[in-house]
Structures are given as C-alpha cells and as structure tokens.
Amino acid sequence: MSNYIGLIHKQAESDYGVSFPDFPGVVTAGETLDEARTMAEEALAFHVDGMIEDGDAIPEPSSLELIMAEPENRDGVAILVTLRSQSPKSVRINITLPEDVLQTIDSFAEANGMSRSGFLARAARHEIKRNNAA
C-alpha cells in the first residue's frame, strides 16, 4: 500500500475539502475532519481503480517537501492518505444494456470525469454496500 499526500482546505460556510496534488482534479469533502479523511481514502481508491481499468500509469507518491514547495499548496493542511486500491487486476467483460441507459451512463460518467467502466464499478460498489447495510 502507498501513502499519498492529501491537502485539507476549509473555508467559512463550507465542508472540509480534500485534494490530491499527485492526482489533479481529484477532490472530495466531508462535513467533519473524520468524514473528510474517510472520503479521501474512498476517492483516492476509486480514482486509482479507474486509472487501472483504463490502463493508465499510477504516479509514485510525491514527498511532502516537494508538494509544500508549490505556493498553491501552502494554504492546505497535509495529511497522509493510504491507497487501498480494490482492483489490482481488471477483467474485461461483455454486458448488454438498453441503448438509452448506456447513453445516460456515458453522459454522466463523462460529465464527472469517469470512464464507463469506472462509473459501473462505482455504482456496483455503492449498491452492494447499500444492500449490505440494510
């Protein structure tokens, strides 16, 4: 498991936001610090799982010194976020969906910076987790 630097940001009237300098564009938030940390682990794992599914290279974690040397990062509080990737190996499958459902999935995934596979994996995890909690 690797540890990446997450930066916590808090502005008045907002939740605690977390961003990842090693993964530009990956952000999450929580109402409390504990929730923000939990969401950070989930967001990082989800994003890296999507990168693996897409065949993208996973960057090595940057050092705290390197990250904090960037002026735009200095207003955040650095935390270590453990990468708990759930899918070290992706498996190609073939599924059949109604065309309108597939178009809706693709539109939503693209608008949210996800691949089709990443969205379907996230939706499946969400439903499984929701069903197990019931």
DSSP, residue by residue, 47-99 = HHHHHHHHTPPPPPPPPHHHHHTSGGGTTSEEEEEE---S-SS---------H
CA 49 to chain centre: 8
* CATH class (in words) of the domain with range 92-134: mainly alpha
Highest mean pLDDT among 83-92, 95-104, 125-134: 95-104
pLDDT band at 114 (very low <50, low <70, confident <90, very high): confident
Closest CA to 37 of 21, 24, 18: 18
Task: Name the average pLDDT for the chain.
Answer: 88
pLDDT band at 16 (very low <50, low <70, confident <90, very high): very high
Give the start-to-end residue ranges of the domains of the chain.
1-87, 92-134
Contacts of 10 (CB under 8 A, 6+ apart): 16, 17
Q: What is the pLDDT of residues 52-74, one digit of tens each?
A: 877 788 889 999 999 999 999 99
At position 32, the amino acid (one-letter code) is T
Stated length of the chain: 134
- For domain 1-87, say whether CATH 3.40.640.10 is its number: no
